[in-house]
Amino acid sequence: TIKATSPLGDPRVTYNLEDGLVPESNMPVRFYLTPNREDGSASILVAEPLDYETTRNFMLRVRAQNVAPVPLAAFTTVHINIT
């Protein structure tokens, strides 16, 4: 679960997965975000089983952006290691 906070105190934040740094790192069929309306966070979920033999780690880039006439955005990288 990831959560962004706005320095302006605005709780309306959207989350998107951006393209990964390598082609296999952020396949939309494997990972997706679902918002948690109660606390303004988002959870990263897996859409299909992950195969340790094929890919042992993933690097996802998440963009959080507030809802405003002039939106502010921030990015973070999430590293997922399959063990």
Mean pLDDT of 54-83: 86
- Give the integer Cα–Cα distance in Å for 2 and 44: 8
Chain-centre distance for alpha carbon 35: 10
- Give the integer Cα–Cα distance in Å for 12 and 53: 40
Mean pLDDT of 42-63: 86
Per-residue pLDDT, 10? 65
- pLDDT of 42 over the 50 cut: yes
Classified as helix, coil or strand, 44 is: strand
- Give the integer Cα–Cα distance in Å for 21 and 8: 31
Q: Which residues have C-beta within 8 Å of that of residue 65, sequence separation ≥ 6? A: 13, 14, 16, 71, 72, 73, 74
Per-residue pLDDT, 11? 67
Lowest mean pLDDT among 3-7, 28-32, 79-83: 28-32
